[in-house]
Structure formats: C-alpha cells, structure tokens
Amino acid sequence: MAQVVLRDVVKTYGNLYAVNHVSLTVADGEFVALVGPSGCGKTTTLNLVAGLLPISGGDIFIGDRMVTDLDPKDRDIAMVFQNYALYPNKTVFNNLAFPLQMRKQSRDMIDRKVRDAAKVLDITHLLERRPRELSGGQQQRVALGRALVRDPAVFLMDEPLSNLDAKLRVQMRSEIKRFHHNLGATIVYVTHDQLEAVTMADKMAVMHGGLLQQYDAPANVFANPVNTFVASFVGSPAMSLIPVDIVNTGGGTALKGATGWELPLSAMNARKVQGSSDRKAVLGARHSTLKLHKSALPGAIPGKIYSVEPTGDVTFAQILIDGEMVNISLDPSVAIQPDEPVWIEFDQDRMHLFDAQTTMALKAA
C-alpha cells in the first residue's frame, strides 16, 4: 500500500474550475472519502488520481512516484465503480482471474489469488456463478474482489454503493469498512452521501465548487465545521443556521434576530463574534443540542412548530424561527402540534457562530 499526495491539483474545462487548486495527503493505509454535492468536483478529482483525465495543473504522487503523466495502467491502482462492470458471460472465478490472466500470471498463482480474495469477501460459494445469478450486493463484492486480486497500491472507489437499495447499502458499508480494516488498504472513496463518508472514512475531504473546504476526521468536521457550507452539509438532519445581528446590551454582547429577540452571549461566544464583519453573524446549532420549552424562558428564542416527524425512538421537529427552518430532536413523549408557539434554548458551549459575509467559523481572538 502507499500514500497518495495531491499537490495543487487543477482541472479546468474552459473557464470552469472543476478542481480548483486541491492539495491533500492520503496517508498509507488510510480510508479517505471525497464528499460533496453533485458537481463539486469529487469524481473529477478521483479520475485525475486514476489518470483517466489529463490534468490542467499540479502534481499527483502515489507512494514515492510522481504519476502525474503516467497512464492509468502504470499507476498501480484498482478502481471500483458504481456499475460493477463485470463480464456478464464469465463466471465469478473468471471475472476475478481476468486481470491476472492479462498480466500473464501462472495458473497456480491465479488460482491462489482468486481463492484468497474470494475468502476475504465471502464469495467462495459463488465462484462458479455468472453475474446475472448474483444479487446487487454479491455483484459489488465480486467487483471489490476483482480490484483486490490485483494487489494495488491504492483502491479508488467511485460511489460503489449507489446502485444498491438502502438496506444493502448499510450492510455493504460495514463490509467495505471491514475490507479496509483487514487489508490496511489505502482507499480513496467518492460519495455524495455525507453519512457514508462519516461512517466509513478515517478522514473526509469535503468539496464544494471545485474547492476543498475541509479535510479532517469526520468527528472533527462534525464538531468544528470551518464554514456554513460544511456545517449544513455534514450531519443529518442538517445544522440549522439563523442570520443574526450582533448588538451590545448593558455590559454584554447579544445576538439579535430579525423578529427582535435577543440572546445574550457567554463570554467565550462574545469574544468569537468580536471579529465578525459588519456586526452580522450566522448562528448554527445541531438538532440534539437544542431544548424545547412550551412557555417563554429568559434566553430562549421564540418560534413556531412547522412539522413533527416521529421516527420511533426519536421525534424530529422543524421549528420556524425568523422564517428559518430549525431542526430539533425530541423525546417521543413530548406532545407538540404544528403551529404551536415554542421557545428554543441554545447551548452556549455547543452553538456555532459564523461570519455572515465570509461564511467562515468565527474564532475567539
């Protein structure tokens, strides 16, 4: 296995920067998810690593080698795609054996590698079947096996689970995680699904508009999103964001909402908003950090229930505050109705504050 380094990588189509000066290092044995909404540049980034597209600028290294100008076949990578791309007329055994036969490996060696890979992926009992006789999940495991037998320096995976139904996706998520754990493989994995990235990857590279927004362990991205884009992209339900003004109150600092409510800030949060442009900020909060009250309470913000979604062990509600939709999770025993007035208490230690103009997280000076 090997590390992968992207150094100032650029891919342009005319005036469009599909990938805009992206630099990141995937350590040897690390599982990194490239994640972001449609069109953010994640597939283009992966294809540049694979060598499937000519690069416009920057360099790519796999292990100690600069591969920027090498053909895909010379980069020591294996790709796994969303459409498994299996040979329909070959058995599973021959699908796995094919890349090795192309490399003219001995029959004994091929047999051993195919059976080893089949064992890792628990598909030994399927070796004599053809792809059409397999379920979607089994086909995906064969596709992983075909990558595995090649013993590459790096696995590149492009939305490998997106053709599977929801239940199977969850199951395959843990299988790919296991695959990574067992092999200590270096994996670069593209997904639009933040939950896949959060649950599977050691690190996630969040992209938007061709730019790398944040690159860190999922827990750190979740806890400390660098800007409002990352804050609202990572986490489900999404972090709620409310535009506010920053005002001085007798001796302290408060946030003021569009409908006139004021929320006095703790000393730490007051220091954070000191650096905001034009005294305007965005208040962010995750659903699980909010408390709902049915009557007014000092420091709690007034709102109105918009919708209530019981899911069994937790109830999600959407609350309108200043025309913004705020997500909250509640114990199912809490009885609330649409249009009911409520007051929302924010946790000063777990609220997020962003600059309204730059969208960047505000930090205490």
Helix H or strand E encompassing 206: strand 203-208
Whether the Cβ atoms of residue 221 and residue 206 lie closer than 8 Å to each other: yes
Burial of 27 (0-12, 13-18, 19+ CB in 10 A): middle
Does 39 bind ligand ATP (CB under 6 A)? Our answer is yes
In the complex, least distance from residue 38 CB atom to ligand ATP, rounded to whole angstroms: 3
Among 40, 100, 121, 351, binds ligand ATP (CB under 6 A): 40
Does 191 bind ligand ATP (CB under 6 A)? Our answer is no
Does 13 bind ligand ATP (CB under 6 A)? Our answer is yes
User: Measuring CA to CA, how many Å separate 272 from each of 125, 299, 317?
Assistant: 60, 19, 29
Total number of residues that touch ligand ATP (CB under 6 A): 12
Main-chain dihedrals φ then ψ at residue 133, nearest 5 degrees: -95, 15
In the complex, least distance from residue 72 CB atom to ligand ATP, rounded to whole angstroms: 17
Rounded to whole angstroms, the Cα distance separating 103 from 98 reads 9
Does 160 bind ligand ATP (CB under 6 A)? Our answer is no
Does 138 bind ligand ATP (CB under 6 A)? Our answer is no
Q: Which residue is nearest to ligand ATP (CB)?
A: 43
Question: Any residues with CB less than 8 A from the CB of 241 and at least 6 apart, and which?
Answer: 228, 231, 232, 282, 283, 284, 324, 354
Among 30, 31, 35, 41, binds ligand ATP (CB under 6 A): 41
Question: Which one, 213 or 318, has the nearer CB to ligand ATP?
Answer: 213
In the complex, least distance from residue 47 CB atom to ligand ATP, rounded to whole angstroms: 8
Does 15 bind ligand ATP (CB under 6 A)? Our answer is no
Rounded to whole angstroms, the Cα distance separating 151 from 243 reads 51
Does 44 bind ligand ATP (CB under 6 A)? Our answer is yes
Residues that bind ligand ATP (CB under 6 A): 13, 16, 18, 36, 38-44, 192
